[in-house]
Structure 1
Amino acid sequence: ALSGTCLSITMLAIWLTAPRAPFVLTVACGILVLVAHVVLFWQYSKEPNPWLCQAVLVLLSLGFLIICLSAMQYLGVGNHGSVVLPTLAAMAAGAVFTYLGFDGIGFLITYSAVTALLAAIGTMFWMKGDHDRRILLVVSFLSGACGLSFALCGLVLLVQGQWVLGAAPDNWAERLNTVVAVACMTGLGALTLSLHHLQAQIELKAETMTDPLTGLMNRRALNELYGDRSFGPFMAIAMFDLDHFKT
């Protein structure tokens, strides 16, 4: 919880210096929500009650939903409803089953939703990333590993038929998930900073290579693209002088 809080504060500070990178702020918010989940889960393991259980499950789904939305922001993927609506439906279903006393089913639904969100994150970075493939592949791997650990938690509950728990689930999958999730989320947080740096480099290069008024390539871009290359007889350059163009 402490490391997650520190990481979120770092991201917030970075976003304040570079507000054009909204995905950094979104990741920071998602991690803060997950930190709140960890704190409440610890409290729930000490003093279990249905209302606290519902809060724990909602925060877990909400935190990963926000992180998934940050991935969509970074990659420029629209149609947020395809992720938000199913997750909200899963959160509502989990809350209902928990309220009715079937907290095991509530955990199972939540773990399934989180697994789907992490799978979506990994798939998006694997399929749509067009920058440094090394960073994006590591993000995909960490998302997949974290999602697999949550899937194992749900699978154990399903196989053992633990529909009613009355307390925080405690089994080998949960203990494995604790280690894997912390490691993966720490890695994803650090990679978010790398992605921010990479995006800043790309934007800076684009600004130096284009004319701010027209968006066309400037002389620096043409020099980098063609350099000392010789042109054939069918190449021509046209120049226009437009009066009052900027006004």
Structure 2
Amino acid sequence: MLGAAVAAGPGQPLPIAEDAYYSTVFEVSQLCDIAQLPDPVFASAEKRTKLRILGRGELHYFEAGNDDQGRDIGFELSTAAYFCMAGLNAQLDAPADVAVVREDGRSFQIECKRPRRVASLAANLMRAYEQIADHRHEAPDAIAMVAIDLTLVWNPEFRPIRYPTMLAAANAFDEHLYNFELKNRQAYVDARHNSRGAELMSGRLYKFQGMFHLDDGTTNVGTFWRIAMTQAEQDSPTGQEIRRVFERLVEND
């Protein structure tokens, strides 16, 4: 888990009150992000249904099972909010989970996946690729991406993490993400070779959220977003477009 010491290590139960506290802070932080979505995002009854689904499931994050539609929807909504807070036009319109429409009319079509463990990474990637392929005809000029929430993979119980500063935590995240892709390279290769639509993908958007205890005595919910692309993807015209959009997102962080 990011190579950091945790306030209570895996296998060491936290008092339920403390468990509930960390879980509640996480949920409230995500809801605060989602609250930034403008009203037009929920203009239809179908879209407002997502908010009702968000409220379903176990009360606490650490009690959630593998099939948690509410938190899946939460990831979709927080991804849309991430773009909206940077002044971009994010929508929950089909065909993809999230669409980000640029000023020139071209859109990013983003499929959101929350693998629960490393072993399910390839299956989640394959599902995203297949979904993009299935609805490509509806947005043939769109830039297709997959957003992957690694929170459950790296810290499934959402245990608090200790770092001197948030900058140190961010640097550790960058290193851990780089090593994660290297270590699990075969999962990416398998997904690419065993599914339709992989060739349509232009990059990966990663998210990790954690409760960080810092040396100055403060406690923060930190959310890290990163773009990952192959060298060929980075050098392509589409890759350059993605980099420009992500630079705008970083400016808003």
TM over 0.5: no
Whichever structure has more helix as a proportion of its residues is 1
Whichever structure has more strand as a proportion of its residues is 2
Structure number with the bigger relative contact order (C-alpha 8 A, sep ≥ 6) is 2
Length-normalised TM-score, structure 1: 0.33
